[in-house]
Structure 1
């Protein structure tokens, strides 16, 4: 258990003053049994004329910023500050209890579960050459166990070991097949690879965006910005989080902000401006995470 403060700063710079279009923010987590939100502050400069909060189709908290037509600025600064307590499940020891039909991999969902999981259990990207499916089946053969939890842990570790982490500042996420071919990727790419590999077996997964904190060695990667991982629906255990970038299991060190069907739906901050195409001259993102352990009496 830990008390955590997260300061997420995003600053856009423009060559000339521009008009600011609607911006969409996914920066506020919802409270749950594993997270208690004490404070959530949002400071925006220039100040918007209207701030609106809604829930999206996945029930994530979404903020919309709207400025008046008269507002023009050569910079936009958005600072989100969170103060929360995290109760991570940690590594699954003792092991999660799965429904009997889900203990061996691959497993099949019941008709009722599948009706609700829908497209979360279906590959979202084309794989005409079978690159992703072939990689997934190779991981299954090399897992050393047919137990579902062992297979998922092995796949999480294999992605961390086999692929090199490489920060990429361009927008978007590369396909799972491209990650396999290149051998490199970002945290978003690795999350998508694990999702598509598991979906090739009909296993339901979700894309998760949020933050990473390191309470031990400092060996994790993906800090200093927003982070991404995936969650897997396991009958009997529910949604369990896996971070293939760092080999983390069960949500340890991970602050979940939003969950979506695919990566494109989980942009932390997006928006538009009215100006010349060459007006944007800079984008700076900084995430500062302060961690303080809380010891039980």
Structure 2
């Protein structure tokens, strides 16, 4: 699939702000499944400086500094990406992970937004045995979460905990993802948080903002994405920006500034796509 992405983040302040420093993670990754054709970052007012680096997890991060006084700050990311269909992972027993866990401990242990807990029991998930098919378990878990929870923008915030989501039974893709990470890690299944975009074509949920889904390590297949918000594998309609332990590791835009007073944040995401022959 060919995807043309426009992501606009706009801060509007009641009073002038200055020395705005923003950390921007909007650069889609390049991988065997995803090819980045172009990327542009536009800042208004013009940035005093823009620098980049790769973070611990390999994502490209832009550091944007706007020194002059302003009451509106607009950061627009433009990207052109092509993606390939995902191959369905083969059957493999859960025990096949035994020799791999020591290499990916950071995606097994607790993190700030995915603490330790009896998450399988809390969410009513039957624990698989060592000989059970890992791929089938993850597909069933994706299906269960899709039907168990309701997608409802505004029901939660970026600070909502997994415990609160378990009680509410409704939220957004971030909540679905943190919950699935909690279940997987508790069961010894390495899982990481992915931030990206979703081309819906009208039939999928969560395309009007950055999207989130978990990637799980499957022996023989590598890291495979499962989208519990839409009850699908993360395939060619999913455009990945980057991954981390949980949301704070890959939050799209965050920063600090002086002045400004009470402000407002507006975000608009558009992903235009077409299937390739």
Q: CA deviation at 1:45?
A: 0.2
| Counterparts of 1:186 and 1:27, CA distance in 2 | 19
Q: CA deviation at 1:228?
A: 0.5
- Give yes or no for the alignment of 1:287 onto 2:269: yes
- Give yes or no for the alignment of 1:202 onto 2:199: no
CA distance 1:227–1:184, shift in 2 (3 Å): same
- Give yes or no for the alignment of 1:262 onto 2:246: yes
- Deviation track 1:131-155 (CA, whole Å, cap 9, x = no partner) reads x23045x42369xx93211110010
CA distance 1:80–1:250, shift in 2 (3 Å): closer
- Deviation track 1:25-48 (CA, whole Å, cap 9, x = no partner) reads 000112111111111111100111
- Give yes or no for the alignment of 1:62 onto 2:61: yes
- Deviation track 1:236-261 (CA, whole Å, cap 9, x = no partner) reads 11100011111121434210001001
| Counterparts of 1:150 and 1:10, CA distance in 2 | 39
CA distance 1:235–1:87, shift in 2 (3 Å): same
RMSD: 2.2
Contact 1:122 1:202 in 2 (8 A): no
Rg larger in 1 or in 2?
A: 1
1:78 corresponds in structure 2 to: 75
| Counterparts of 2:211 and 2:197, CA distance in 1 | 5
- Give yes or no for the alignment of 1:116 onto 2:116: no
Q: CA deviation at 1:84?
A: 1.4
Contact 1:108 1:202 in 2 (8 A): no
TM-score w.r.t. the length of structure 2 is 0.92
Q: CA deviation at 1:285?
A: 0.6
1:97 corresponds in structure 2 to: 90
2:49 corresponds in structure 1 to: 50
- Deviation track 1:132-190 (CA, whole Å, cap 9, x = no partner) reads 23045x42369xx9321111001001111110111139752422222121111110010
Q: CA deviation at 1:67?
A: 2.6
TM-score w.r.t. the length of structure 1 is 0.86
1:167-182 aligned within 5 A: 167-168=153-154, 172-182=158-168
| Counterparts of 1:67 and 1:261, CA distance in 2 | 29
Q: Equivalent residue of 1:259, what SS?
A: strand
Contact 1:210 1:254 in 2 (8 A): yes
- Deviation track 1:85-123 (CA, whole Å, cap 9, x = no partner) reads 111315x1xxx236xxxx234x36344x22220121124
5+ residue gaps, structure 1, are none
CA distance 1:155–1:61, shift in 2 (3 Å): same
Q: Equivalent residue of 2:176, what SS?
A: helix
Of the three residues 204, 222, 225, the one matched with 1:241 is: 225
Of the three residues 137, 141, 163, the one matched with 2:149 is: 163
5+ residue gaps, structure 2, are none
